[in-house]
Amino acid sequence: MAIKQLRTLFASQYQPGQPARVRPGEVLTEPGGDYEALHKQMKRLFNSKPGKKYGRFSEDIGESPFSSWLKEYREDRQSFASLTDRLFGQWQELLNSAQEEFEGHLMIVHEALADAEVVYLCILENDSAMRFDAQQTLDATDILSLSRLNLAVRVELDDWLGDHPGENYLTLVHARGSGEGGDLFIRLSGFTNQVDVEKETLTFMDAVEAFAKSSEPEEAGKIRARAYEFSKEQHALGEPVAIEALSGYLDEDQPQRFKEFASETAELPESGVLHPDHRKVKKLVRIAGSGGGMSVSFSSDLVNQAIYYDRDNDALTITRLPKALREQLQRYLEGREE
C-alpha cells in the first residue's frame, strides 16, 4: 500500500445557523508511517462494513462538483492542494446549512495499489479518553476512533476513467443513525445509487441454490458452502462477486459450468458482477430463527439427517444433540427434579 497524497480537515458545527469552523491540514505527499497505519485501519473497517452501497457519480455537477474536480486532478489540470481546497470549501458550505450539530475529520486519500488507483473520502470520528497530565491531574481528551467508520466512499479511478469504464465504481458506507451529516456527506461525494443489493443477493442465492439442486446430492452441500466462502472472502476484500471467478471456484475441473448454468437460469447483469449481502448469503449454509424465548441455528446440511421438520404439525425433531447442549439439559432437568 502506498499513499500518494493525503489531506485532512477538522470541521465542527455546534451552533446551527452559524458558520461552521474548519481547520485544514497540510497536503502530505507519501506520508508513510503512522498515516499508512491509520489508513490501513480505516480500509479494514471499510471492507468489513456490512450493507455497503454501490453506484456512480451524480450527473448533476452543479449540485455535486466533486467528480469534476477529481477528474481535473486525475488529468493533471489541477493540483491535489487545489482539489482539496475546493472540496473543503464545499464541505464547510454544506455544514453552514446544517440544522444538527456535527464534528469530525474529513480525510481524503489518493492511494496507488499494484494494479489500480483509488481515492477514499471518509469522516473520522473521535472517542473520549482519560489521562493524567504533567501535574498528575486527571484530564479528558479526544482521540481518533479506530473502531468506528460510519461515513466513507471509495472511488475506483481506473473503473471510472479507464478505457473501459465500469457502471459502479463508487462504494459507499453510510451507517444508520448518521443523520443530517450523513446526507450532507452523500451530497459532497456526489454518490448516486445504481445497484439494488437486495435484488442481486436474491439472484445470487437463487442461482447457487438451483445449481446445487441440479448437482449430485453429495455435492450440493459443498457447492453452497463454497459459494458462501467465496462471497465472504470477497466481502473481506471489499470486492463484489464476479460470476466467472465464482464459477471457477465452485468447480475447478469445469470452471465454466456454473457460469453457463447461471446465464441460462438467472437474470445476470451484463457486467457479470453481483453485489450480494454476505450476511443474507449465509442462509445458504445456515438455517436460523428466533422468537418466543427460543433461538435455533443449524447447518442446512443437517436437514433430514439429524434434524427433521414435520410440516403438518409444524414440529422440529433434533437428533444427535451437541454434547454441551445435552449436558445443559441434563443438569437443568436434574435441578428441577431436586
Tens-place pLDDT, residues 44-65: 999 999 889 999 999 888 889 9
The residue count for the chain: 338
pTM: predicted TM-score of the whole model, two decimal places? 0.75
Residue 291 in any domain: the answer is no
Cell match 499513499: residue?
3
**Per-residue pLDDT tens digits for 125-169:** 988 888 888 889 898 888 999 999 999 999 999 999 987 777 889
The backbone torsions φ and ψ at residue 273, rounded to the nearest 5 degrees and listed phi first, read -125, 135
Residue 227 in any domain: the answer is yes
Residue 150 in any domain: the answer is yes
pLDDT for 158 equals 93
The backbone torsions φ and ψ at residue 17, rounded to the nearest 5 degrees and listed phi first, read 100, -15
| Domain total in the chain | 3
- Same domain? 34 vs 140: yes
The distance from CA 20 to its chain's CA centroid, rounded to whole angstroms, is 30
Confidence class for position 4, pLDDT limits 50, 70, 90: very high
Q: Which residues form the domain of 312?
A: 303-337
Query: Exposed/middle/buried for 71, CB within 10 Å: 0-12, 13-18, 19+?
Result: middle
Distance separating the N- and C-terminal Cα atoms of the chain: 64
Residue 254 in any domain: the answer is yes
> Minimal CA–CA distance to 146: which of 286, 6, 34?
34
**Per-residue pLDDT tens digits for 283-338:** 888 877 777 778 887 777 777 777 888 888 888 888 878 888 888 888 888 877 76
- Same domain? 133 vs 256: no
pLDDT for 338 equals 63
**Per-residue pLDDT tens digits for 216-250:** 877 888 898 899 999 988 888 878 899 999 999 99
pLDDT for 333 equals 83
